């Protein structure tokens, strides 16, 4: 097709679908993909080679789409945001990902964040509000307990240390309550909390529940106290959630189960 003369009104088809030529100006051709309505300018040679891309087609794990050309986008900040977005999409939708990382089983991304451009706008907004610093992590668990959805209403950026502190993990082998393990030698349950390089060992108990209650009390106290160190530095919603941090929901699920 490289020798084909391209005229306004012509319709072509490639792996992205049918597209129509809207205009030709100064070596560039503007086209519209008929299925998605996406419009974009490409160099004439791209059209002659039939390589026009519809950036509204979900090419990332069958869900994510770029929303706009990114081939010439070499800005370090935007590249970092794209990497963050790709990681989020992979965690939720890449086949086999959650098999090795069960914490991400059942996770999804809000539809508006399937579009990289929407996600990029949200991250830049957080930067402009000083609710993001380089190296901070995207957290989906703090604002909504047990949350499985990445989205603008559920996510905030947190420093890695703070993000790790507020998270809870179950023993993947024996499915004990978070923070709890069993000491076979002493025949009792044990719990510990790691915070800011310090490890807190709690008294061993015969009861898994009692051991968890000790863990819960210490974890809540440490997180709530540490919140004051981040006031004005993290999103106000994140600060309020930390001030009211509670693991009651885990206790409720355990008692209901």
pLDDT for 171:
62
Helix 236-243 and helix 208-226, axial crossing angle in degrees, nearest 10: 140
Q: Tens of pLDDT along 25-65?
A: 989 999 999 999 999 999 999 999 999 999 999 999 999 99
Model confidence over 126-170: pLDDT tens digits? Answer: 999 999 988 899 999 899 988 999 999 999 999 888 888 888 876
Buried b (16+ CB within 10 A) or exposed e, 32-70: bbeeeebebbbeeebbbeeebbbbbbeebbebbbbbeee
What does the CA dihedral 111, 113, 114, 117 come to, rounded to 10 degrees? Answer: 140
Rounded CA separation 176/170 (Å): 6
Please state the φ and ψ torsions of residue 29, each to the nearest 5 degrees.
-120, 130
pLDDT > 80? residue 256: yes
What pLDDT sits at residue 253?
85
State the Cα–Cα distance between residues 96 and 229, nearest whole angstrom: 39
Q: What is the pLDDT of residue 196?
A: 80
193-243 pLDDT, tens digit each: 988 888 999 999 999 999 999 999 999 999 999 999 999 999 999 999 999
- Give the pLDDT score at 70: 79
Per-residue model confidence (pLDDT) at position 61: 97
Phi and psi torsions of 248, nearest 5°? -55, -35
H helical segments located in the chain: 44-48, 76-93, 97-100, 116-128, 160-166, 208-226, 236-243, 248-256
- In this structure, the number of other CB atoms found within 10 A of the CB of residue 235 comes to 20
Give the lowest-confidence range in 43-57, 67-81, 87-101, 179-193. Answer: 67-81
Which one-letter DSSP state was computed for residue 69? -
Strands 17-25, 28-33: pairing kind? antiparallel
Instruction: Kindly indicate the confidence band of residue 172, based on its pLDDT and cuts at 50, 70 and 90.
Output: low
- Asked whether the predicted pLDDT for residue 123 surpasses 90, the reply is yes
**Surface-to-core class of residue 20, CB atoms within 10 Å of its CB (0-12 exposed, 13-18 middle, 19+ buried):** middle
Residue 93's pLDDT is what? 95
Give dist(CA 166, CA 158) in Å, integer: 10
CB 48 within 8 A of CB 1: yes
Q: What is the pLDDT of residue 96?
A: 86
Question: At residue 251, does pLDDT exceed 70?
Answer: yes
Which of 152, 104, 108 shows the shortest CA–CA distance to 131? 152
């Amino acid at each position: 097709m490289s020798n084909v003369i391209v005229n306004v009104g012509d319709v072509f088809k490639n792996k992205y679908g049918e597209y129509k030529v809207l205009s030709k100006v100064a070596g560039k051709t503007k086209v519209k993909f008929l299925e998605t309505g996406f419009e974009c300018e490409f160099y004439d040679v791209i059209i002659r080679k039939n390589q026009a891309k519809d950036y509204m087609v979900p090419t990332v794990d069958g869900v994510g789409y770029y929303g706009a050309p990114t081939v010439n986008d070499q800005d370090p900040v935007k590249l970092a945001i794209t990497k963050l977005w790709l990681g989020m999409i992979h965690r939720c939708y890449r086949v086999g990902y959650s098999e090795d990382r069960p914490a991400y089983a059942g996770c999804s991304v809000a539809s508006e964040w399937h579009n990289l451009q929407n996600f990029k706008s949200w991250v830049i907004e957080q930067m402009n509000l000083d609710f993001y610093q380089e190296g901070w992590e995207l957290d989906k668990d703090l604002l909504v307990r047990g949350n499985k959805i990445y989205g603008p209403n559920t996510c905030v950026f947190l420093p890695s240390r703070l993000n790790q502190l507020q998270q809870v993990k179950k023993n993947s082998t024996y499915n004990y309550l978070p923070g709890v393990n069993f000491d076979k030698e002493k025949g009792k349950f044990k719990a510990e909390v790691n915070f800011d390089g310090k490890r807190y060992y709690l008294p061993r108990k015969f009861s898994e529940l009692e051991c968890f209650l000790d863990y819960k009390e210490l974890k809540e106290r440490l997180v709530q106290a540490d919140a004051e160190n981040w006031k004005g530095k993290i999103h106000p919603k994140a600060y309020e959630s930390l001030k009211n941090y509670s693991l009651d929901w885990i206790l409720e699920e355990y008692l209901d189960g």
